[in-house]
Amino acid sequence: MELGLVTSGEALASVDQLLPKLIEARIGSRIANQDPTVWGASAKSEASIRLGWAQPFEAAEKLLPQILELREQLLAEGLTRIALCGMGGSSLAPEVIAAHDEVDLVICDTTDPQMVSTIVNTDLERTVVVVASKSGSTVETDSQRRAFTTAFEAAGIDPATRLVLVTDPSSPMDNPEGVRAIFNADPNVGGRYSALTAFGLVPSGLAGADIEALIEEAGLISDLLSSDDEDNIALHLGAALVTAGRDKLVIAEIGDALPGFGDWAEQLIAESTGKLGKGVLPVVADANAPELKNIAADILPLYLHEQLPEEVDEAATAIHISAPLGTSFMIFEYATAVAGYLLGINPFDQPDVEAAKVAARSLLDAPTAGSPDTVDGSVELFGTQATNLAGALDELTAQLGEDGYLSIHAYLDRHADAGLEALRDLLAERTGRPVTFGWGPRFLHSTGQYHKGGPRQGVFLQVTANHEQDLEIPGRPFSFGGLITAQATGDGAVLSDAKHGRPVLRVNLTDRAAGIAALLEAAS
């Protein structure tokens, strides 16, 4: 896969304007040297403990033999199914790596009881579970670990032979008791920048991905990214990402360039830039998406290619990029940090993420069922004055501004309920505005920051569902169904509160299949 970047139209003009300033300020070399003053005095303390990703190679070289040795042990014991319990960057990067190398890695990044139950109760006799949490206290991963531990015990399997932990040193999870192995991650790397640390390498490596080649690809571009000259591809991309007036970045994969990479880039860019009322909104789509057929004035297309096109329309505003996976991780991490510098924000904090967690915890402590505003067949509607689903969607989309976006939050099973993803294109076509689609609660660990901290432009459609068969969380006073409901309603309450004031429509499906069909019909 070749390495290259082409910008055109207004994106090229942005590069022409900003690149000399980046070179003069030595931004490339300062990031590579882990200089925490790049993003200003207010960001210095946080940046000083978040720049390990710029030079991940020494830590990776120590990890690789340990990971590969454990993989050989597991294979010898017939343990060939690797399941990963992780949220946000802890699951998105390994998923991309595994997809790229076409190896099986089961991702458990949800609290939907249907999806968790399916994963936990499949092929336990050959399953090893990687539990990944930087803080060691993530409620989702703790709940998933409890479910797996109980399932192993019920099957007569000692969990201590099947649990592998990835966490920061000295976190609450950094305890060897009752587990097979612990891998400590670099504490100086935040979750969304952790693709080339233990969080990305351990689960994908155990699943059979070629993590040695991945690190080698990343190392090949290290010198280029640390340079202060016009050849630094990350400086180009960072300058293009902040093209004036085009703050909706539509990411489309051309062919089979990097499967799933858009989802990883989405969480990196949204959580890093969406704060202080500023930011770049990533919209993961495909090349035929409505947003790319009639490109609005605030949309910036970014195309991921296997090979760059021989010619591009120089008048059309766009970014075209082609790079191997390990290289791409490094380029986008550097470029996002550069974009943060240009926007005048700290790309390493997430000041608005905690609000939704607090709201969810309060609802778990004192659950409130709430009554729908109206019922239309297989759906219950909350947060609307309309009398049916079609009217509620009309009411919501009517509140879209000329610079607005619509965000769909689906608190469902992203495998069994994948048909709901068609709703994204339908609503983009209908509204003529960018539409994002996030599976809950995993997006709360990434794009949830942008929704609350970025520009106040969004309107939000939440999709929840009743749980025909709930799943208890051992040792907790709440179930998975109670947890995911609290997470959805808690986030909705924060989005619509006096501080944020954003329109939120919640559609609860009393019958999943019928409700999804009704949503797709109403949207079209």
Tell me: the pLDDT tens digits for 347-356? 999 888 777 7
Residue 463 has pLDDT above 80, yes or no: yes
- pLDDT tier at 364, thresholds 50, 70, 90: confident
The crossing angle, in degrees rounded to 10, of helices 512-523 and 422-431 is: 20
Please state the rounded mean pLDDT for residues 11-29: 98
Output the pLDDT for position 369. Answer: 64
Q: Report the CATH number of the 353-523 domain.
A: 3.40.50.10490
Residue 431 has pLDDT above 80, yes or no: yes
Output the pLDDT for position 2. Answer: 85
Residue 15 has pLDDT above 80, yes or no: yes
Residue 365 has pLDDT above 90, yes or no: no
pTM exceeds 0.95 for this model: yes
Q: Give the tokens for residue 255.
A: 């062919």
Q: How confident is the model over 41-99, as pLDDT tens digits? A: 999 999 999 999 999 999 999 999 999 999 999 999 999 999 999 999 999 999 999 99
The pLDDT > 70 percentage for the chain reads 99
Please state the rounded mean pLDDT for residues 443-447: 90
Output the pLDDT for position 472. Answer: 97
Output the pLDDT for position 158. Answer: 98
Buried/exposed 19-54: b ≥16 CB within 10 Å, e otherwise:
beebbeeebbbbbbebbbebbeeebeebbeebbbbb
Find out if CATH 3.40.50.10490 is the number for domain 4-33+226-343: yes
Output the pLDDT for position 180. Answer: 98
CA distances to 337, 423, 494 from 388, rounded to whole Å, are 45, 18, 25
Output the pLDDT for position 445. Answer: 87
DSSP 348-369: T--TTHHHHHHHHHHHHHS---
Sketch the domain layout of the chain as residue ranges.
Answer: 4-33+226-343, 54-217, 353-523
- pLDDT tier at 181, thresholds 50, 70, 90: very high
CA of residue 230 relative to chain centroid, distance: 30
Beta bridge mates, 211:
none
Residue whose C-alpha is closest to residue 270's, from 443, 489, 110, 428: 443
User: For tokens 């946000």, what's the residue?
Assistant: 88
CB 155 within 8 A of CB 190: no
End-to-end CA distance of the chain: 39
Please state the rounded mean pLDDT for residues 184-199: 96
Please state the rounded mean pLDDT for residues 179-186: 97
Q: How confident is the model over 237-296, as pLDDT tens digits? A: 999 999 999 999 999 999 888 999 999 999 999 999 999 999 999 999 999 999 999 999
**Which SS3 state, helix, strand or coil, does residue 234 take?**
helix
Please state the rounded mean pLDDT for residues 391-396: 98
Please state the rounded mean pLDDT for residues 403-416: 98
**Average per-residue pLDDT in the chain?**
96
Q: Point out the least confidently predicted range of 441-450, 457-466, 515-524.
A: 441-450
Output the pLDDT for position 370. Answer: 82
Q: How confident is the model over 485-501, as pLDDT tens digits? A: 999 999 999 999 989 99
Output the pLDDT for position 1. Answer: 76
The architecture (CATH level 2) of 54-217 comes to 3-Layer(aba) Sandwich (3.40)
Strand order across the beta sheet in which 106-108 lies: 106-108, 81-85, 127-132, 163-167, 181-184
| Shared fold status for 54-217 and 353-523 | yes
